[in-house]
Amino acid sequence: GEKKIKFITIGYKIWFICTKINAKVVLQNTASMVFLFSRFLYFCRMKTEADEYYTLLLSLCQREEISLFEKYKQMRSLLERLCRSEMQNESLQMTDLAARISFVSAKAGLDIREQNRLHTFRLTSNEVLNRRESPAPEKLLRDAKTLAFFIRRLSGQDVPPELYRLLPKADATYIVSPFVRKKICRMRVCFQHSDETYLYVTPIDTIADEPLRIRYNVEKINGEFKDTCKRLWKHAQMNLLDVSVDEAGVLIPSFIVLEPDYLIDISSLAECFREYGHHPANYISGKLQPIDNARPLLLGNIANLFLDEWIHTQGEVTYKACMGKVFQRYCIELVACADLQDADTEKQFFNDCKAHFDNIGRTVTETFQMPGYNLDKTDAVIEPSYICEA
């Protein structure tokens, strides 16, 4: 808008004056001038965006017609936007807001108290948006102050007086969760740094004034994760499983899972392990191998389609309609199958398809209803995908 044009005009004027003062020096330092001018434009952008952020916070604090739930939703979205904006030029990819907060906080030089206030807002918004906690006006103002001060730290622009007057005068407080000396089933943490004995991490689901210590390379407990621990990077997410907490508060997990939010195809991973050794290139090699298109495999895939149709189709299920879908999905496989190249074997193949269709249909419509079974097909889940967060 007009503000952005004004800032750019001022920037060009500064550059023009500098060239008049000492053109030779400027020409020799063109790269420096370009860098400085780009930084100038960056701060101009930050100023205009900071105005938008402050205006949004002011509106949320003033407008009573907006529900507290909706206010928390918009404030959470604002925090996400702030973190992503600060990370847009970073090559490091993070799947979790907690890790992004830790990264941006370290980049901006926030101390542990300021970081904990941001994490307190994150945890509170988690509870509110998942409807596990009712939003409270005083907590909303506390979290609005946390966001306002975060914006001020990132942009260098003071909080507007009209917004500052609405915020609590006392510092935002956070509750540090004491660690209970017991077994913990699962715990999500964010890696910070390590030494020869400990990994230093911050918890994701609780607040801590200082990093927690993880004892790693403990024989017969977690020694097999030694190589993984050597390759950790700052802000990496980890799940700790079957965790013991000793008298000093040190965590000793039996299993360490790196980046649990990245989904892994176990079958593809298993392809990397062969009788002659294991290597990631085995996965690529497997992708280059021709796909097996034998008659039994093709018949099994068609039977799976029949089962899906009998379970999920509303109304009448007909063999003709199902075979239409078979030809749509497996047209190339049917034409290219080496076992179906003569009329007799092809006829027998489709007779087997009809037999599978009838048997599956009889099982779903009759056997499911028999005493001792009493199964409702609407409760069935066909080949579910299991996602294990561990």
pLDDT tens-place string over residues 144-188: 999 999 999 998 889 999 999 999 887 655 555 555 567 889 999
Domain tally, the chain? 3
Q: Is the pLDDT of residue 69 over 50?
A: yes
- Is the sign of the CA dihedral 225, 228, 234, 239 positive or negative? negative
- Who's near 375: CB < 8 A, 6+ residues apart? 368, 369
Q: What percent of the chain shows pLDDT beyond 70?
A: 83
Is residue 267 a part of any domain in this protein? no
Q: Are residues 111 and 159 in the same domain?
A: yes
Q: Are residues 300 and 348 in the same domain?
A: yes
Q: Are residues 6 and 137 in the same domain?
A: yes
**Helix H or strand E segment including 258:** strand 251-258
Is residue 290 a part of any domain in this protein? no
pLDDT tens-place string over residues 224-235: 998 999 999 998
The boundaries of the domain holding residue 336 are: 295-379
Is residue 99 a part of any domain in this protein? yes
Q: Are residues 158 and 194 in the same domain?
A: no
Is residue 74 a part of any domain in this protein? yes
Q: What is the domain-level CATH number for residue 222?
A: 2.40.50.140
Q: Are residues 29 and 133 in the same domain?
A: yes
Q: Which of 254, 132, 120 is nearest to 187 (CA)?
A: 254
Q: Are residues 192 and 159 in the same domain?
A: no
Q: Are residues 19 and 92 in the same domain?
A: yes
User: Is 15 or 241 the better-scoring residue by pLDDT?
Assistant: 241
Name the least confident of 66-70, 116-120, 262-266, 313-317.
262-266
Banded pLDDT at 112 (limits 50, 70, 90): confident
As a whole number, the mean pLDDT across the chain is 84
Q: Is the pLDDT of residue 13 over 80?
A: no
- Who's near 78: CB < 8 A, 6+ residues apart? 53, 56, 57, 147
Residue recorded with tokens 């053109």: 23
| pLDDT at 23 (0 to 100) | 47
Q: Are residues 370 and 237 in the same domain?
A: no
Banded pLDDT at 106 (limits 50, 70, 90): confident
Q: Which of 102, 99, 103, 78 is nearest to 89 (CA)?
A: 103
Q: Are residues 144 and 193 in the same domain?
A: no
Is residue 12 a part of any domain in this protein? yes
Residue-wise over 253-280: b if at least 16 C-beta within 10 A, else e?
Answer: beebbbebeeeeeeeeeebbeeeeeeee
